[in-house]
Structures are given as structure tokens and as C-alpha cells.
Amino acid sequence: TIGIHARIEGALVMIGFGSIGRGVLPLIERHIGFDRARFTVIEPSGDFAHILRDRGLRHLQLALTPENLAEVLQSLFPEGRGMIVNLSVDVDSVAVMQLARKIGVQYVDTVVEPWPGYYFGDMPNAERTGYRLRERVREVRKAHAGGPTAVSCCGANPGMVSWLVKEALLRLAADLGIAAEPRRREDWAALMQGLGVKGIHIAERDTQVSNRPKPPGVFVNTWSVEGFLSEAFQPAELGWGTHEKKLPPGGHVFDYGPGHAIWIDRPGADTRVRSWCPDVGPQFGYVVTHNEALSIPEYYTVHDGGRAVYRPTCHYAYHPCNDAILSLHEVKGAGRLPAAQHILAVEEIVSGGDDLGVLLYGHAKGAMWYGSRLTSAEARGLAPWQNATGMQVTGAVLAAMVWAAENPDEGIVEADEMDHVRCLEVQRPYLGRIECHYTDWTPLRNRINHFPEDRDEGDPWQFTNFLVP
Ligand code: NAD
């Protein structure tokens, strides 16, 4: 895990110093060459200022707003060289991305974040979607091809999971005795189609447990509580496979953009699917909206003329840590956001870890889970200030920074379009075990008692069979 992978010339600016920002810092110090005198962290809170102070790093203690954004950021890049790493909430990603382009510096973020007001405002549900946020990025990209590299949405998921999909496809092809050497996007899409993959869950099970029971009324999570609540109360969204026969109840198509996804008029935190992860086997996951549920199915669409002839269904199936499930139950029941919140620090986690992978289903071998299995104890041994969940994210941010430094003029990209081999090479030391598991499970299996449900016995891999009413 030792070694400098890339150098950043000019200034380095990190926006936000929350659970992810703090976790990325030691990885940057270990693996990126940069000028310490030109490194600034923009962070309104003083809670963790001592970490920066102890390391002699500059802390600009202010909150970015639409009014001060340009002035603050431009002043930090007098010679127009360097990189911005945006790990904040409540700061508009598209605004920062455009400014980075104007200044002429590379940019990395982990989510398309809007200014405050988007997630819990009065807007109709159709407009509070990740699809609309992603379309804003795509519009900028359409208007400006090329230019300084801006990596959009590169954490664990969205981010690393797109690289895991590629490794998983190559593994599946090898196990089925199919020769594959995909290079261009079209080759990857044709490979997935040829392998018969009908859909992909970003299948996660967070088993991290705290040393003290969750206090009532406190929302506990293993990463940003604000970030999680925002996406949890957006409508559920998923990439919509060409094999799907019917929309779910409350399901809507989008009549603008690529039209490859649907949204469900129900919060992601209240939309459960049957899914599968190693060890636990069958489990419930929440269909929380995420950029990878939009980028992956678009990347793997096969077109014939103007028509999409193949696309996988793709969405997040997230089983957060038990304290977060309990916290969600409380806030949904109370019908209001929590008064207090807490992110579990690695020191207070007594057991568990994070299994985060991709579940490719519907092919000749049934279903395959391929992903990272990292315990909190392992994370503690790898780098300070982060639990297993954070580490899967921070390693991907590091990989995105290295890739952006090595490929500085690629314009706006998503993880699917980056070199997955290089990125995983950088990230792999921080991922624990990468494991591949085949299973004969389908969503039609495992019921305790039989109650009426909308089942499609003819095709186990229909979304109808996954969705818990
Ligand atoms: P956090 O809640 O711990 O920290 C958020 C940080 O943003 C804090 O330091 C806060 O002070 C700062 N901030 C808030 N308002 C700001 C403003 N106006 N200007 C500058 N900074 C501001 O969150 P986290 O767990 O560190 O996550 C950070 C971001 O990364 C979130 O947007 C989250 O959704 C995202 N994330 C992505 C992934 C992924 O896998 N893609 C995973 C985890 C988190």
C-alpha cells in the first residue's frame, strides 16, 4: 500500500471534511505527490479542525454558497493548475465542475449534489430524481466536449461498482468458456448481452455493529447521515431492462434524456427488493436512487439503428447497517427528519464490515455476486479515521484522483468510462477480499408462509418478482 501513484502540480483543494474527506486524507498523503503548502480544505465545521492543524494543512473555515463559490475557488488557483476534490454535501456539483473547467483544473466528486433545497423542497417527485440531476451533468458535457478532466460520481457506488461490473463480466465469460476482449463501450455492452445478463443489483450488506445500542431519536449510519437521508427520500429509481414486461405500481418513464430508466412514486427508503449477498444469502435491500443505477444501464445498452435492443435492469439493493435500518424505521414512522445524528467511528465498531458488490443475474449460471468484502477491523489496520464503508469509498476517490492526474484532458466522465484495470490496481489494497460467488437463488425462492403476490413464474428475473409490495 506504499508508493506514490501520481503527482498533482499546482494547488489541491478538498471541499468538505466529513467521514469521506477525513478518510481520503491519509490516502492522498500516502499515494499522491502534492505541494503541502498549496493544499486547502474548505470546511465550515470546526469539529475536526485539529486533524488539519496537527498536520500543518490549511483549513478555510467557511461554507460555499452560490454567491461566494467563484471568488473563493478562483483565489485558490492563481496559476490555473491543480485539482478540486469535492466531498461535501449542499454544494452544487455542476457549479463546481463548471468552475473547475473555467479555471482549467481537474475535478473529482462522488455524487451529483445540488445546492440546499432540492431534496426536501416542494418540487414534484418527478423533478426530485437522480435522473434529473444526472441530466444536468450530461447537458454540460454535451455543450463542452473534452477539456480538463472532471470525474463525476466516483466513490464506492457510484464509482468502484462500475469497475467491478467489468471484472465480473470477464470472470463470467471465462467461467462459461467464452473468449472476450472488450475495448470500446460497444464491445462491453455486446459482451453483457451475449452472456445473457438480465439485470444487476448493486448488492450491499453493511454488518457493522456499534459498542452501544442506538439511542432513540438519533439517526445512526456508517457514512453521511445527511447524504443518506437525501437519497433515501428521493423516489426509487432504476435502469429499466429490455426484458422487463411491465412497470411496477407507481412506475413512470422519463420523457426527456436517454429514457433508459424509470422512477417509482415512492421513497427509495420504502421500496424494498429481494436480493442476495454472500454469507447472509437472501436479504431485503432498499432501492435507493443512485447515479450508477443510471450510468451502468446506459453504458451497457445495445442499439440497433436508433432502437435499444438490449439493456440490463440495474439498481441499488442496499441493506444499511442495523442501526441505520432502525433509524429509518423511526424517521419514517415519525414523519420528520431526525433531530440528532451520528456517524459510527471505526473505534466504536465492535464487529462486522461491508460486503459491497454487483449481483449479475439471469445468465447461464443463474446469479453471480462479485465484490469487496472488508471488515471494519481490516479497515482500521489499513488507514486511520474510517470504517469499512468509508474505506471502500476513499480508495475509489484516490483512484479517481490518480486517473484524472494521468488523463487530464478527458472532459466529463463517469466511472464506466475510466480504465477499470488502472483504477482497481490503485484501489485494490484497500478493498479487503474481492470474492466471486455463484448462487442458484432466484427472487421466487424463500417464503415463510404463502401470501398473494404478483409473481411471474415464467421468468424469475422480472422486476415484479424482486419487488416487495
Ligand atoms: P458528511 O456528512 O460526513 O460530511 C459532509 C461535509 O460537507 C462536512 O464536512 C460538511 O461540513 C461539509 N459541508 C456542508 N455544507 C458545506 C458547504 N456549504 N460548503 C463546504 N462544505 C460543506 O458526509 P460524508 O460521509 O463525508 O460524504 C460526503 C459526500 O460524499 C456526500 O455527498 C455523500 O453523499 C458522498 N458519498 C458518496 C459515496 C459513494 O460511494 N459514491 C459514499 C459515501 C458518501
Give residue-wise pLDDT tens across range 167-221. 999 999 999 999 999 999 999 999 999 999 999 999 999 999 999 999 999 999 9
What integer best gives the mean pLDDT of the chain? Answer: 97
Quick check: bond before 158 cis, omega within 30?
A: yes
Residue 111 and residue 303: Cα distance in Å, rounded? Answer: 28
Report how far residue 387's alpha carbon sits from residue 224's, in angstroms, rounded to the nearest whole number. 12
Exposed, middle or buried: residue 367 (CB in 10 Å: 0-12, 13-18, 19+)? buried
Ligand 1 atom 36: the closest Cα is on which residue? 110
* CA quadruple 291, 295, 296, 302: dihedral, nearest 10: 160
Pocket test for ligand 1, best of 17, 27, 48, 88 (most atoms within 8 A of CB): 88
Q: Of 234, 230, 218, 295, whose CA–CA distance to 266 is shortest?
A: 234
Given a cut of 60, whether residue 1 has pLDDT beyond it is no
- Of 87, 222, 341, best ligand 1 pocket probe by most atoms within 8 Å of the beta carbon: 87
Q: Which residues line ligand 1 (CB under 6 A)?
A: 15-21, 42-45, 63-64, 87-91, 110-111, 113, 155-159, 223-224, 226-227, 343, 393
The single residue listed with the C-alpha cell 439493456 is: 311
Sorted by sequence, the CB contacts under 8 Å of residue 305 that are 6+ apart come out as none
CA 91 to centroid of ligand 1, rounded, Å:
9
Name the phi and psi angles at 167, rounded to 5: -65, -40
- pLDDT at residue number 284: 98
The rounded distance, in Å, linking the Cα atoms of 106 and 85 is 9
Distance (angstroms) between ligand 1 centre and the Cα of 17 equals 7
Give the DSSP letter of residue 37: G
Tens digits of per-residue pLDDT, 335-374?
Answer: 999 999 999 999 999 999 999 999 999 999 999 999 999 9
* Residue whose C-alpha is closest to residue 415's, from 169, 156, 182: 156
Q: How far is the CA of 52 from the centre of ligand 1 (A)?
A: 17
ipTM of predicted assembly, 2 dp: 0.99
CA of 84 to the centre of ligand 1 (A): 14
Cell of 391: 474505506
* Test site for ligand 1: of 223, 337, 356, most ligand atoms within 8 A of the Cβ: 223
Determine if the pTM surpasses 0.95.
yes
User: Among residues 37, 149, 35, which one has the least CA distance to residue 84?
Assistant: 149
Instruction: Name the nearest CA neighbour of 203 among 449, 460, 437, 454.
Output: 437
Identify whether the C-beta of residue 204 lies closer than 8 Å to the C-beta of residue 325: no
Give me the pLDDT at residue 2, please: 65
Can you tell me the distance from the alpha carbon of 151 to that of 68, in angstroms, rounded to the nearest whole number?
23
Cα(224) to ligand 1 centroid in Å equals 6
User: 37-96 pLDDT, tens per residue?
Assistant: 999 999 999 999 999 999 999 999 999 999 999 999 999 999 999 999 999 999 999 999
Ligand 1 centroid – CA 428 distance (Å): 23
**157 Cα nearest atom in ligand 1:** 40
Give the distance (Å) from ligand 1 centre to CA of residue 226: 8
pLDDT at 297: 98
